[in-house]
A and B are shown apart, each in its own frame.
Chain A
Amino acid sequence: MNRVAIVGAGHSKFGRRKDVNVAELAFESIKQAVTDAGIDRKEIKNVVVGSAGGWYEESLPAVIVNEYAGLRSVGTMRVEAACASGSAAVKAAHDSVATGESDLALAVGVEKMTEVDTMTSVELIGRAGSYMWEFENYGMTFPAYYALYAVSHMNRFKTTEEDMARVAVKAHHYGSLNPNAQFQKEITVEKVLASQVVAWPLKLYDACPLTDGSAAVVLANEEVARRLTDTPVWIKGIGYSSDSANLSKRDDYLGLTASVEAGRRAYQIAKVTPRQVDVATCHDCFTIAEIMAYEDLGFCEKGDGAKLVREGQTEVGGRIPVNLDGGLKAKGHPIGATGVSMMVEITKQLRGEAGSNRQAPIKNGIGLVHNVGGTGHYAYVTILSRGEQ
C-alpha cells in the first residue's frame, strides 16, 4: 500500500450562507485546496464528495459540484455516513491513492442546511436513526438522542449541566479566534445555562447550529507529495466502526462504542497511543458528545471527561488541546463538510499555520480527527502526522 499525504487544504466560511448555492459553496474550498497543493486540476482523476443532502435542491451533489469546478470525466461518487460523511469521503479518496489506483485524489465535504426552514431541518436530522421505531410515533430529534446519553452520564458519573456548559464556553472562545467559524462571540457558563431547553438537559447553547459550509483536501501518494510540498501531512491510520440504528439496542448510554472501536483500530494501525496526540478535533455536535469523546478516545479514564474540561486540559497549554477551531459547536456543523473541515484544521495545526492564539504546541507531530455520524451510528478516527515518523 502507498503512503498517502494531505498536500492541499481548503475551507469555506461556515454559517448561514444565503449568498451561494451548493456548487458555489463547494468551489470555494476546492479552489483553495487545489491552489494550496499547487496542482493542475486535470491531474485529479478521482473526486469523492461527502454530503448527507435532503435540505438543498440538488439530488446528485457530486456531479453538480464537479461540473461547476470544471472537473470533467473524473471517477466520482457521493458518500453518506451521516455527520461522518466527510471522514468517509476522505477514507474513500485515501484508499484510491493507497491502492495505486490514483496518484492524486480530491475529497470534498459540502452541506447547505438552511435552504429549508429550521423545523424541517430539525425533522430531517431527527429521522437520522431508526425512522419506524424512533421517529414515526415518538418524534425524536438530534439533541434528544444525545440527551438520552447526557442523562445517563450525569446519573452515573455526576457530570453536571455546568460541566457541559464549560465545553460550549471553550468552543466559543476558540470560535472567536477562527475567521471561518459561524459564531464569533465569547459566551459564559451563565448564558449557556439560561438558554432555551431543546431536549432536556441539553439547551440551545449545548447544541451545534445548522450550518452551510464546505471543506476540501487534496491527497497524494508519497512520490507526488514529495514533489509538491515540504510539509506533507501523512494519513497514518484510519479506524472506523458503527453501531445499531436503534438506540434501544445499545448496551449502555455512557459512551459511544463505535468511537471506542474506531479509535482502537486507528491507534493500532498508526502505532500511536492517546498520550502521543498533540492536538485533536473531537465530534462535539453537543457538549456531552465532547465529554464522552475524551473518554472514548482514551484522553482520560471513563467518567473523567468533565474533569478534563474543568481543569482546562483540553485548551492550548493543556494536556491534549481539543477543537481549537471552535468545534462543531461554534465553528458550525455542515453535516457532510465537518469531517473534511476537521482534516483541514489538523493539517493546519500540524503545519503550524493555525494562527497565533489558537495554535497547539506540536511535540510529537501527531494529530487526531474524531468524527461521529448520527448518535454513534458511524464513527471514524483518522490519525495524521507531520514529519517522518
Chain B
Amino acid sequence: MTQEEQPTLHSRRSLTLRFDIPISRTREFWDALGEGRFVTTRCSACGNVSFPPQADCPRCMSDRFEWVDLGREAKLVTYTYVQVTPASFVNDDPYIVAIGEFENGVKVLAWLLGVSLEKAKVGMKLTVEARRSNEGNPYYVFVPSPPS
C-alpha cells in the first residue's frame, strides 16, 4: 500500500482563525496612511527611528515618541516574485515583494506593483503609495518612480 492509500480519519471538526489585532498605540500610522502620508515613530528620548512603528523604543525603552514623515521615495534593495501563493492569497495573482530603502536608511517590505519581473532591478527608484483593501483596511505598496 502506498502512503497515499493509507487509511486516515478525516476529522469532523474544522477551525477558522481570524485575529483582531490591536493597533491602538500606533493608530496614527494607519490614519496617516489613509490620508496618503507614510510616517513612522521616532523616540523623543534618544531619537531612534523605528519601522515598523512602535510605541516603546527598542533602543532606550522610552515610551515617548513622535511621528516623522518618511517621504515617498525609496530605492529597491532586493525582491522576489511569489508564484506559489499561500492558501489565503488564492484569489490574488502572483506578486512581486520588494524591500525598499528610504533616504534615512529605514527599510520597508511591500508589494511592488506596475513593473514586470524582467524590468525590476536592484537599485531602481521606487515610490510608496497608499492603497485600501476590499475590506477597507489601509495598506501600502511600492510602484516604480516616474523618470525624473
Contacts and interface: CB of A to CB of B under 8 A. Distances in A.
Nearest to B5: A18
Interface residues of A, number: 45
A5 B26 CA distance: 49
Contact of B3 (A16, A117, A141, A201): A16
Contact of B83 (A119, A133, A152, A197): A197
Interface in B47-66: 51-52
A141 B117 contact: no
Contact of A119 (B51, B86, B92): B86
B3 A15 contact: yes
B78 interface: yes
Contacts of A197: 81, 83
A246 B52 contact: yes
Interface of B: 3-6, 8, 11, 21, 51-52, 77-90, 92, 95, 97, 99, 107-111, 117, 122, 133, 137, 139
B85 A141 contact: yes
A343 interface: no
B21 A141 contact: no
Given A122-B84, A144-B80, A199-B80, 15 more contacts: A16-B4, A17-B3, A133-B109, A136-B139, A137-B110, A140-B109, A141-B84, A147-B80, A147-B81, A151-B78, A151-B122, A152-B78, A198-B84, A200-B83, A248-B51
Given A130-B52, A151-B80, A196-B83, A140 B122 contact: no
Given A152-B78, A155-B122, A123 B86 contact: yes
User: Chain B binding site: helix, strand, loop or mixed by DSSP?
Assistant: mixed
Contacts of B51: 248-249
Contacts of A130: 52
Nearest to A147: B80
A264 to B, nearest CB: 23
Contacts of B117: 200
22 contacts: A15-B3, A16-B3, A132-B21, A133-B109, A138-B97, A139-B85, A139-B86, A144-B82, A149-B78, A151-B78, A151-B80, A152-B77, A155-B78, A197-B83, A198-B84, A199-B82, A199-B83, A199-B84, A200-B80, A200-B81, A200-B117, A202-B80
Given A140-B97, A197-B81, A248-B99, A18 B90 contact: no
Nearest to A114: B3
B3 A152 contact: no
B3 A19 contact: yes
A291 B133 CA distance: 38
B107 A139 contact: no
Contacts of B109: 133-134, 138, 140, 246-248
A197 B83 CA distance: 6
Contacts of A152: 77-78, 122
Given A138-B109, A199-B84, A248-B108, A19 B78 contact: no
| Nearest 5 Cβ contacts at the A-B interface | A147-B80, A123-B86, A18-B6, A119-B87, A139-B89
